[in-house]
């Protein structure tokens, strides 16, 4: 599931067609709730309709978002008129364009839809491409395209991709198109498209609908080629180092940290070098105040157009905690989500509660037995009023409280 929409009125056939496979603005008349899963927010699901119907996800072990890209294209075009046949083109401000044309069996086709997703196609390795390559590296990291045919029976379709203007292409001869039948499939398959270096096009005939992306049999096109990412302990701090070999439209890196390797939180942002064909070195020092046990890191590389992709996850082990401790929440003040961290040196029952300034309990965040280690959790105060709150931990006779300020 990629998104949920709730409307307060019936939708016409035209309205449904116009909004299929399209990311909404959230301001459409009658839209009461709009929840998207295209960005990781931990277990908090924001409401993009502006009605503040935030939600939470419960009872999912080791949960993480996997965005297939279905039904949330950033731009769509539809053709439900059989007059003149079915053909659609969608371009991008960079200049590249994809065109889908029904060439046979049109009598069984009721409509043709094309959508573009301005985000990396985050999936598994590409069949047919060199071993150990990944969709993060060999796939077009900027955008991918989906084609849907409505109807029944047999049909034939041609797809042409004009890569004119696409950034980061240095060798046209190694370009190719990859395809998957639907967004639920992990693997992309190489199509062996015909390359015309004079027209700057890749074309394929007699193909089925599905999703398409630009790929290569080499290192192009890449926004950022990350060749090194390491973490090491330096006294009481953790030193992160990474290196890029090439950069195209690299806005920079969010540095993210996790205590369990599943839920990550942003620490800081490091600006990138934009466009570069030479190696660039980066470093960051994490004070890691209060951290014990294993600590995980990843980089969120962000392009200048806002698209992003994640690095591999690395970790260091700071050892087991020797004391109980409850740390100050961050950010503080907050609106409406903040992170609470704590550590316990032994297996024990842990209770964490939140109270109003007059002592009324407003939330129970933890009430279970925990193994020794370091923990952090998100507290969503969406349904609470602005003001001062107190959170308290109780574990094996240890009690500690901290103040936090909610400002809406």
Report, in angstroms and rounded to the nearest whole number, the Rg of the chain calculated over CA atoms: 25
pLDDT at 359: 93
In tens, the pLDDT along 27-71 reads 888 888 888 765 544 556 778 787 877 776 665 544 444 444 444
What is the rounded average pLDDT for all residues in the chain? 80
Q: Binning pLDDT at 50, 70 and 90, where does residue 175 land? A: confident
Structure tokens that stand for 340 in this block: 């609470």
Greatest Cα-to-Cα distance within the chain, rounded to the nearest angstrom: 78
Pair 297, 369: CB distance under 8 Å? no
pLDDT at 150: 84
All domains in the chain, ordered by first residue: 1-62 (no CATH), 73-216 (2.60.220), 224-317 (2.60.40.10), 325-406 (2.60.40.1930)
pTM assigned to the model: 0.47
pLDDT at 40: 45
Pair 178, 215: CB distance under 8 Å? yes
Query: Rounded distance, CA 172 to CA 214, Å?
Result: 11
In tens, the pLDDT along 222-258 reads 457 777 899 988 766 899 999 887 788 889 999 999 8
Q: Binning pLDDT at 50, 70 and 90, where does residue 352 land? A: very high
Judge whether residue 26 has pLDDT over 60: yes
pLDDT at 139: 55
Determine which of 32-41, 143-152, 181-190, 363-372 has the lowest per-residue pLDDT on average. Answer: 32-41
Cα–chain-centroid distance for residue 144? 14
């Amino acid at each position: 599931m990629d998104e949920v929409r709730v409307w307060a009125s019936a939708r016409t056939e035209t309205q449904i067609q116009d909004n299929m496979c399209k990311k909404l603005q959230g301001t459409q008349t009658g839209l009461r709730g709009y929840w998207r899963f295209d960005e990781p927010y931990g277990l908090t699901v924001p409401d993009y309709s502006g009605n503040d119907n935030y939600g939470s996800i419960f009872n999912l072990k080791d949960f993480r978002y996997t965005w297939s890209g279905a039904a949330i294209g950033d731009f769509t075009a539809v053709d439900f008129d059989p007059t003149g046949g079915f053909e659609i083109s969608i371009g991008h401000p960079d200049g590249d364009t994809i065109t889908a044309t029904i060439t046979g069996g049109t009598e069984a086709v009721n409509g043709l839809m094309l959508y573009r997703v301005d985000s990396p196609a985050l999936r598994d390795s590409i069949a047919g491409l060199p071993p150990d390559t990944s969709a993060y590296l060999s796939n077009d990291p900027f955008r991918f395209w989906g084609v849907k045919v409505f109807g029944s029976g047999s049909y034939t379709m041609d797809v042409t991709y004009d890569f004119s203007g696409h950034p980061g292409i240095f060798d046209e001869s190694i370009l190719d198109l990859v395809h998957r039948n639907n967004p639920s499939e992990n693997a992309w398959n190489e199509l062996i498209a015909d390359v015309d270096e004079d027209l700057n096009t890749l074309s394929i005939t007699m193909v089925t609908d599905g999703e398409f992306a630009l790929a290569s049999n080499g290192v192009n096109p890449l926004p950022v080629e990350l060749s090194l990412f390491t973490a090491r302990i330096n006294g009481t701090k953790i030193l992160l180092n990474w290196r890029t070999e090439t950069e195209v439209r690299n806005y920079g890196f969010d540095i993210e940290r996790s205590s369990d390797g599943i839920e990550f939180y942003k620490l800081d942002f490091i600006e990138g070098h934009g466009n570069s064909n030479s190696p660039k070195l980066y470093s960051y020092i994490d004070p890691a105040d209060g951290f014990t046990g294993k600590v995980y890191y990843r980089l969120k590389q962000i392009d200048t157009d806002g698209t992003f992709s994640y690095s591999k996850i690395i970790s260091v082990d700071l050892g087991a905690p020797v004391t109980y401790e409850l740390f100050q929440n961050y950010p503080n003040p907050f609106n409406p989500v903040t992170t609470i961290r704590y550590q316990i040196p032994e297996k024990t029952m842990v209770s964490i509660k939140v109270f109003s300034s007059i002592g009324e309990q407003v939330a129970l965040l933890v009430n279970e037995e925990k193994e020794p280690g370091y923990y952090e959790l998100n507290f969503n105060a969406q349904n609470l009023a602005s003001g001062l709150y107190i959170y308290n931990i109780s574990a094996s006779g240890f009690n500690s409280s901290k103040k936090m300020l909610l400002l809406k």
